[in-house]
Structure formats: C-alpha cells, structure tokens
Amino acid sequence: MTNLALSPTGKRIVVEARGEVFTIPAEKGDVRNLSNSSGSAERDPAWSPDGKYVSYFSDKSGEYKLVIEAQDGLTPPREIALDQYGQLLPYVNHRADLNYLLDNMGAEIAIGHSYVRGGDMPEVPNSPGGLLGADFAIENERFRITRIYDNESWNPDLRAPLSAPGVTVSVGDYLLAINGIELKAPDNIYRLLDGTANRQTALTVNSNPAMDGSRQVTVVPVANEQGLRTRAWVEANRRMVDKLSNGQLAYVYLPNTGPPGYTSFNRYYFSQQDKTGAIIDERYNGGGSAADYMIDVLQRDFDGYFNNVAGDRYPFTSPSAGIWGPKVMIVNEMAGSGGDLMPWMFKYGKIGLLVGKRTWGGLVHTADTPPFIDGGSMIAPRGGFFTRDNKWAVENEGTAPDIDVENWPKDVIAGHDPQLERAVAEAMRMLKEHPVDRATKEPPPPTWGKRRAQP
C-alpha cells in the first residue's frame, strides 16, 4: 500500500494498492474499491477539500488521465478529458490562441492565481498613446476641459501634463487642435494623441470654441493617467471622511499589500495621529504579500504615557505612534490575494468592522514556476491558506463584510460613495459608544518623601 491520505472529515483513508484505489474506514465500515479495474494502473489518489471526492490518475485508455470519483463510489467516475484540448491544437494559429487554450485547460482546477502569460509573440512597434490628465465634455462641437488632474503639489512620482509650470490651461478652456491638426467632435481626441506619450506636444486652446484669439501651449502627455486619477480619488475620499466626521477620523487608502501599499499606509496613517479613529480603505487592493505589519500596527494599543514638558504639556502615549480609537475597513469584490487576507486578519483580530462587499477570493500563492521554452509561463499556484482550526479558508470564498453595502452606479454617478459613508457612520457610532480613553494632562508631580524638620 502506498500514498495513504486521511480524508478532511477524518472518517476515511484513501490508499493506492496493487494498482487500484481504495477508501477504507478510519475505524469501522466497508472497504470501497473506487477504480475497480483490471489491466490498468491507478495512482496518486487525493481527496477534494470537502472530502466528498477522490481524484487519481488512470492509464485505462493507454495514457494517464485524471479521474474524479465520488468517495462513496455510487456514481460513475468522471474523466477530466485533457485530450479535448489537444484536439484543438491544429486550430491554434497564433501564440495568443495557445495561451487561450492553456488558460481554459488550467481552469479545470478552479483555483485563483492560475495565470498564462507571454510566449513567442510577434514584435509590434510600440506607439504609446498620450494622455493629458483631464476630463472633457463635448460642447459647441468642441472638446471642453471640465477637470484637470494635478499631482497634489507634493507628489514627485506623479506628472500632470496640464498642471506643469508655465502651462496656461484652465478648466473651461476648449482644446481646438493638437500638433496643428484641428480637433472637432465627433472626431476622437485620442487619435490625435496617438504616439505623443512623453513627447512635447503642441496644444491649441482658447476660452471660447473659436480659433480667433487662441493660444498655443507645449505639454508632455503621459502614457498612463491611473496614478493621477487614483490620487485624486484618494484625496477626495480623505477630505470627505474629514468633513463627515468633523475632523475626528483619519482616512488611509491601501492600493495593495506590496511596497506601494506599505508606503501609502505609513504616509497616511502616521501623519493623522491627531485623529481619534480611522477608516482603512482597501477596495481594489491588488495584493502582494501578507500584510501582517499593517495589521500589527492597526491592533496596537498604548501602555501608558510620558509627560510632555513643552507647550500645553499634552502627554505622549507609549508607544507614541498610533490611532487609538475605532477602526473600520472598507472592502469590495475587486480586492484580492493579499487584499483578501488583510481583511480576514482584521476580522480575526477583532480590530473593527468590515463594510462593503465580499472580497475576490484568491489566496493560493505562486512560487518557482519554470518558464516554457519560448519564454511564456503557466503559473502553478502552490500554497493555500488554512486556519488554526485546520480548515481551508478564503480561497474561492473571499472575506465577507460585517455590513454588506453595495455601491450602486446610480448612487456613485450622483456623487455618493455609500460604502465610505456607511463606514464613517459606523466609526462615529463606535466612537460615541466607546470614547477614546486618553489622558490630556499629566498627574500631579510625585512625592517620594518629606524632609524631616531640623531640631
């Protein structure tokens, strides 16, 4: 007997013996021959996570195929006909077709992080389209600027083309021409911006939709506006939280659980230590690694104080860094991987409430996947997450919120963020019910003894 494995329920054991696959009771019961074959060999049996099925390889057809069978043996086994994908190989006319085929084959295992990438693709000339970091509306058959995104004046990693020094463009101006080519609706503005990314580009603008009196400015379009638009969204959220909470709550956005996420956490969390509570927004979190550092900081409490000898003598907490009041984390269906685990840890540690929608549900990490011979890859997920009570968790489940709130398009278009607004309301309720117990002044000076009067 080889390849013994105890079922997740602990009631039966699957075993490979004499080329057959059996399940036997852990204590009492019947022995079941699942493969029940002659002249073929079955090998490598394994349990499904719920203990209802057993998978194994069989060479019954002359080639090994994956078989899945109910552990009770009452229903016919099902072959995972991997050869069905092989039948499509003659119709692969491009490396992208092969990736599509491999992706569908990999979907048989129903697991996240199973990516198919790259390969021997034809070289295509790169002509990145330029973007101006602005919103436009069609008025008077012209493109009118309705918003200009800036870099918040302090962020060196962002470049806003229309907010650069010397660029005299304002909200309300009309964009009349690009590099001397007149622009009128219904023409596509991005047609004229094609190939302009990171290149000096001449814009003709005017405060009215006519060429007379127009002026020309030179800008350098960016290849991607995501950073500008994300920063504008984050800062708008921060200002909204400050307004709704009357300055009592901090707002911290976590774009991922990799280096940019840690940078954002440190920058936004510790700079708002004057707040009494915090909204932690991890919507659209792209993952990265286990966010144990952030969780450790969020669940930190202070042990005492040190007196402050300066100014109003407002005492320092020890440790000094932290926000000591209620915390609410916002989640949605676009947060995954490390963005699944972080809210799970937040809930497990009873740090605060989760508000929003259930997260993506992909928490099997990837590692050491060798590339294909042509440089492509098919990622093989390796390590799944399970809890201290020995149960698989999060993968294909996600982390559910304590309070389910949907951001319906109608509400968002109207200028609302129901998830953010509910998170603030819950944090303010928690703050009212459990005010932060923090000293605002030091106790009277200690008296260690009294000097005896001289005789």
Task: Decide if 188 contacts 214 (C-beta within 8 A).
Answer: no
Residue 363's nearest CA partner among 326, 327, 335, 336 is 336
Cα 192 from chain centre: 34
State the virtual CA torsion across 225, 146, 193, 199 in degrees, nearest 10.
-60
Instruction: Please identify which of the residues 16, 282, 395, 426 carries the catalytic annotation.
Output: 395
Tokens of 285: 């979190």
Instruction: Please identify which of the residues 48, 113, 152, 235 carries the catalytic annotation.
Output: 113
**Active-site annotation holds for 48:** no
Distance CA 287, CA 183 (A): 41
Q: Is residue 451 exposed (0-12), middle (13-18) or buried (19+ Cβ within 10 Å)? A: exposed
Distance CA 182, CA 174 (A): 12
Distance CA 113, CA 445 (A): 60
Residues 6+ apart with CB under 8 A from 320: none
**Active-site annotation holds for 337:** yes
Residue 133's nearest CA partner among 183, 186, 201 is 201
Strand partners, 206: 174
Residue 330's nearest CA partner among 346, 315, 309, 311 is 346
- How do 134-139 and 42-47 pair as beta strands? unpaired
State the virtual CA torsion across 309, 311, 317, 318 in degrees, nearest 10.
-40
Residue 35's nearest CA partner among 57, 52, 51 is 57
Residue 147's nearest CA partner among 236, 212, 64, 280 is 236
**Active-site annotation holds for 113:** yes
Distance CA 197, CA 126 (A): 11
What is the SS3 assignment for 311? coil
Q: What angle do CA 137, 138, 140 make, to 5 degrees?
A: 135
Per the document, the length of the chain is 455
Distance CA 287, CA 252 (A): 16
Amino acid residing at 357: K
What is the radius of gyration, based on Cα positions, of the chain?
31
Instruction: Please identify which of the residues 163, 337, 365, 426 carries the catalytic annotation.
Output: 337
Residues recognised as catalytic: 113, 337, 395
